[in-house]
Structure 1
Amino acid sequence: MNERSGTLELEQISVVFRNKKQTIDAVRDVNITIPTGTVFGLIGYSGAGKSTLARTINLLQRPSSGSVKIDGVDITTLGQRELRQWRRKIGMIFQHFNLMATRTVEENVMLPLLHSGLSKQEKRQKADRLLKLVDLADRKDAYPNQLSGGQKQRVAIARALANDPQILISDEATSALDPKTTQNILHLLKRLNEQLGLTIILITHEMEVVREITNQVAVMDHGRIVEQGPTTQLFLNPQQPLTRELLVDGDQGADEMATLIKQYTAADRSLVSFTYREQQTDLFTLLKTIEQWVEKIKLVYNNTQRVENQLWGTAVIAVRDDEVANLQQHVAAHPAVVANKLLKEVD
């Protein structure tokens, strides 16, 4: 089992809840493949079905139909004994840390090792290694009520790693933490992903969490996956209205942009937005190049964001209506530009 890579395939997964009064389609025909070592983000508003889908991965929630494959093995077909062995390869962390208040930090991390066959000394040694991995070696004798929220989540992460999982599911694990602590936990998860080759699945409603560390993203709405792909692609060129809506909700400049669009549209000017790689060019050089193609441009907005550990710039230029096609044609051909679009018609 140590040779398993952790590749996950969800095929035609549906979950239906029924009672006397109604039928609820919580998850509908979901197909996702997550290669080993990927940090995968599953994002959507509350009630989208994200947590229900996550629970099907280790069969805490059995799907009504479809298959869950880990390294090609459909675990929905396994007997209880074999399924228990597979479940050890899937760790989970949650918004609420679920630590036992009467146990020390070290003892909490040792809990999943109860039936591992290890001696007590071996369990302690493993717990101590894991606490060192999450930077809490000096707190092993503390109790949960002596820890901060971020420290409690680090204990929960160490506990989730006790059985050497290949897949770690994080279900809103940072949503109760302050922004700085959230950043620290995300950086820890990314480090674990890189050091251990861990496949991580982030369930969240926060775009900043997805932006920070994921490689792949799926957007979920009313039980369905409405868009999925590389993180950079979804952030820089979203295709679905819900994805764009989620991005706007997480964008502090959205109100400013809406005001600018109305202002320039009223003045018979068009706004063209384009996104560029800051590693390849700076904005000043790019604008100088654009001025060779189009006269009388005006920069009205510029923003920089980090996606997948790369810096991307987004600029908005005001031009005459009759220059839009010319501008977009030349900008699209620039090697540093990855997307451009007309914003005039946006309300």
Structure 2
Amino acid sequence: MGFPIVRNRRLRTSAAMRNLVREHAVTANDLIYPIFVTHGTNVKEEISSMPGVYHLSLDRLEEEIREVVSLGIQAVLLFGVPHEKDAHGSSAYDPNGIVQQATRQVKAWAPDLLVVADTCLCQFTDHGHCGVVHYDEAKGRADVLNDPSLELLVKTAVSQAEAGADIIAPSNMMDGFVYAIRQGLDEAGYENVPIMSYSVKYASAFYGPFRDAAHSAPQFGDRKTYQMDPANAREALREADSDVAEGADFLMVKPALAYMDVLRMLRDRYDLPLVAYNVSAEYSMVKAAAAQGWIDERAIVLETMLGFKRAGADLIITYFAKDIVRWLQA
């Protein structure tokens, strides 16, 4: 049986009909809003490569949090921009580090707002890498050491949980990081704090504006020895398998837009909540094109979000979160 008995357009005849049969939707409950916190006083500095995104000092953070809560967004992701860095990223696990201070303040202002703490070292190291760097004279190169890095990541995660973080989100791509952090959290009495693992994080060109925002560009080399090769998809399953076995509570794909096939692969294989990170260049490219009048920003963003949901994402980390909620409420 086919045309003319079957007419697929019957279910598209009006907005109400289309709403009735719509398969996917984006809501405020799906969104996590990233925020960059820094030291200083009265700092609200727009990031030049990310229009509408700011560095915020702690005294300016409350107004941002109040706005997020008023919009019905359920979670924020905190990134710290410290004023001091060293080879081991010690301010990442300082109990009075910028992320820890911000976490305590956010939980005081908005106890029900979930705080997701980014657990990495790159913003806090003077070399910009996500772990401990050792120069191998025999090889004539610097290497990021895996297991010593895990020790510092565990210290960071525990300090973030102690400050009140609701979710730990390790983004470093060291082997065994979920296991090490899970063990460290449990031993410290935080067995109920979940881990949102950056399970599949590619060595991507889409991170450029973020590195401006977080002041985290590597001072030498690149991150290709620990972040994934963009050419590989099956490897993503091995990475996710490891994280599931080690106790991850969420799985993430980063970036999202160029890797929707990977999102779908993970969705088909795992039943854990799946997170898509709509990263900085994905945001900035849309903003730049919209500023030129080349695209309809609202339509492009909402269609992209639906694409992430259709590919299998349960949650979306996006700098557009506040805009999306306003558009949905309009």
TM-score, length basis structure 1: 0.30
Higher strand share: 1
TM-score, length basis structure 2: 0.31
